[in-house]
Structure 1
Amino acid sequence: MSRDVPILPLTAEAFAAYGDVMEAAGQPGKIINQGLCGRYHDLARLDFSDGRAGISLFKAEPRQLPLTLEMMERHPAGSQAFIPMSMDRFLVIVAEDAGGKPGQPRAFATAPGQAINFHKGTWHGVLTPLHAPGLFAVVDRIGEGANLEEHWFEAPYTVVASPA
């Protein structure tokens, strides 16, 4: 069995089982601010068992391909949104739950300007920018209690660029 995970383009349809894709594509739902701003409204469902939504800033080191995937994590008590603060692409790795651990990983490359929101309980890789500065606004659950599960693979996967 191959342990290679090809990188696919991020689309709302391909990502729907794992979360929401947020982007300012097409016509905005509403024009506001004296006609100078398009509002793309309510693009992600924030979902928390308890606690509250908080906004944090993450600054992550850029990664290189191929990428060794040794671990995935999930947050059982809340969704988690990653919103890049630059127009750089980043890598999103997800997996369906397979009996309390991640199944076969899938990898997606965002387009410039795309952001994502993981559904509550979705297995995902760590924040993986492909370019500096790696600065993201993160909207997730702030509250008491455990909200992080990690799974370390016995044998790592390798995330590779898709063949042209």
Structure 2
Amino acid sequence: MVVVDKVKVTVDSARVIEAEMLTPKSFATFGSVFSADEQIQDAEKTSANQGTATKLLKVAPVINNSEQAPSGRMATANWNIFRSYPPNHLMTKDGDTVSYLARVLERHPYTTQTFIPMGLDAHQIGFLVICAPNDTAHGNLPDYRRARAFLCRGDQSVTYGVGTWHAPMVALGPGYHLDFAVLVHENGVPNEDCEEVLYEPGFHVSYVV
């Protein structure tokens, strides 16, 4: 991964974003959510597996626009595993409130990316997702001032839309790792697969435990 034109952005570290609970509706600006309990009533669905399953149809797109990349190198669909550890060095706690110092936002310019947690209790809050819209007035860099953060349960997965700015996945702990199965298209050209912007000293995301 590389930094977009070696961009480093100085920000007001006093800025605090309060995390909200993830739902398909709250995340819709940035991509899609797999959350069967929340989607089963309204999603298009069919019966499957000889009547022993309900199939929810097309809950999240899988998009590969790598033909638009400058190199012209087509990307392949890859399943990866991310073993994520809580970034304790970026977290502070004051009573029941935890503050995470976000220092990186990244995006995949030509592809969606899906994160599916593995081995996490369905109702456990296990990871934090942070996204920001493009700042079209400043070269389509992320507008961290309008970033939003989401607390996610073990029975929820997220698909970032093509070109969506997001923080590296934040596993919540402390004291354990969280594995994700991750689907993304990659062509091996670093700045086409992933772009990064670094923030100094960073901006804060808070949530209550």
Give the TM-score, by structure 2 length: 0.71
Conservation of the 8 A alpha-carbon contact between 2:24 and 2:35: no
Which whole-Å deviations, capped at 9, do the CAs of 1:11-42 have from their partners, x for residues lacking one? Answer: 22221111001111234722222322222222
Counterparts in 2 of 1:133 and 1:154: CA distance versus 1, 3 Å: closer
- How many residues were matched structurally? 163
Give 1:127's match in structure 2, choosing from 166, 169, 187: 169
State the shift of 1:77 in Å. 1.6
Q: Which consecutive aligned stretches of 4+ in structure 1 deviate over 4 angstroms post-superposition?
A: none
Q: Which has the larger radius of gyration?
A: 2
Conservation of the 8 A alpha-carbon contact between 2:186 and 2:193: no
Give the structure with the larger strand fraction.
2
In terms of mean alpha carbon deviation, does 7-16 or 35-44 score higher? 35-44
- Root-mean-square deviation over aligned CA pairs: 2.0
In terms of mean alpha carbon deviation, does 77-86 or 24-33 score higher? 24-33
Give the TM-score, by structure 1 length: 0.89
Show the counterpart of 1:82: 115
Provide the identity percentage.
29
Q: Mark the runs of 5 or more structure 2 residues left unpaired by the alignment.
A: 1-11, 67-74, 92-97
Task: Report the Cα distance in structure 1 between the residues aligned to 2:116 and 2:59, rounded to whole angstroms.
Answer: 12
State the shift of 1:125 in Å. 0.3
In terms of mean alpha carbon deviation, does 123-132 or 58-67 score higher? 58-67
What SS class does the counterpart of residue 181 from structure 2 fall into? strand
Give the structure with the larger helix fraction.
2
In terms of mean alpha carbon deviation, does 27-36 or 98-107 score higher? 27-36
Give 1:149's match in structure 2, choosing from 195, 201, 208: 195
What SS class does the counterpart of residue 12 from structure 1 fall into? coil
Show the counterpart of 1:42: 58
State the shift of 1:113 in Å. 0.3
- 2:81 is the counterpart of 1:57: yes
Give 2:154's match in structure 1, choosing from 108, 112, 126: 112
- 2:146 is the counterpart of 1:136: no
